[in-house]
């Protein structure tokens, strides 16, 4: 007999959704449990965590790996423009973020093919940074961002909780 997630057509039971079949041989019922809900996609207002893929003079390409706390597989691509990166004037995107940095942002526009992001807000910005010289982790020492390996000093647009370790995917 058909159960949840199935349909019977001329005596044959078919799945009506993608998932895993479950057979109850005592009650003679076949059902299908969904293995996933609707796809998770960035929407306007969504909070994202992403890895900076590429930085140009006025924009950065971000691989969005988390949307509203849900990990994405594979990642989405988003764009962060310099005008949406900081409440103050930034001259170069390299002062905001660099490749491999992990950022927290918000989706502000999905009308184009690539979601547009912002890091304006105290809880938005770089939450984990890496040295552009040697790849070592950058730590905040007072107001200076310094590499733990080569002691290089760099600048970023940091989130208020930079380095706290919270919600940073491995």
Same domain, 86 and 150: yes
**Are 66 and 48 in contact, with CB atoms under 8 Å apart?**
yes
Same domain, 54 and 32: no
Q: Residues 100-129: pLDDT tens digits? A: 999 999 999 999 889 999 999 999 999 999
From the list 53, 153, 57, 42, the residue with the least C-alpha distance to 103 is 53
Q: Residues 7-43: pLDDT tens digits? A: 888 888 888 877 788 888 898 888 888 766 667 889 9
Q: Which residues contact 48 (CB under 8 A, 6 or more apart)?
A: 42, 62, 64, 66, 67, 68, 78, 104, 105, 106, 107, 117
Identify the band that residue 138 occupies on the pLDDT scale cut at 50, 70 and 90: very high
> What pTM, to 2 d.p., does this model score?
0.76
Same domain, 27 and 5: yes
Specify the number of domains making up the chain: 2
Cα distance between residue 94 and residue 155, in whole Å: 8
Cα distance between residue 130 and residue 100, in whole Å: 7
Same domain, 133 and 72: yes
Same domain, 11 and 60: no
Cα distance between residue 81 and residue 98, in whole Å: 13
Which pLDDT score is estimated for 32?
Answer: 85
Q: Residues 36-64: pLDDT tens digits? A: 666 788 999 999 999 999 999 999 999 99
Which pLDDT score is estimated for 37?
Answer: 65
On the CB side of 148, how many CA atoms lie within 13 Å of its CA? 10
Which pLDDT score is estimated for 85?
Answer: 92
Of the chain, the end-to-end C-alpha distance in Å amounts to 45
Which pLDDT score is estimated for 74?
Answer: 83
């Amino acid at each position: 007999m058909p159960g949840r997630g199935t349909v019977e057509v001329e005596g044959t039971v078919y799945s009506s959704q993608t998932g895993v079949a479950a057979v109850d041989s005592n009650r003679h019922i076949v059902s299908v449990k969904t293995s996933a809900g609707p796809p998770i996609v960035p929407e306007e207002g969504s909070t994202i965590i992403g890895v900076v893929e590429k930085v140009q003079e006025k924009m950065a390409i971000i691989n969005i790996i988390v949307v509203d706390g849900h990990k994405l597989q594979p990642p989405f691509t988003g764009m962060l423009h310099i005008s949406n990166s900081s409440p103050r004037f930034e001259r170069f995107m390299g002062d905001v973020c660099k490749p491999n940095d992990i950022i927290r942002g918000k989706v502000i526009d999905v009308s184009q093919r690539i979601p547009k992001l912002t890091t304006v807000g105290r809880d938005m910005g770089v939450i984990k940074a890496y040295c552009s010289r040697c790849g070592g982790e950058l730590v905040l020492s007072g107001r200076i961002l310094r590499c733990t390996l080569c002691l290089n000093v760099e600048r970023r647009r940091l989130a208020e909780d930079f380095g706290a370790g919270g919600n940073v995917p491995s």
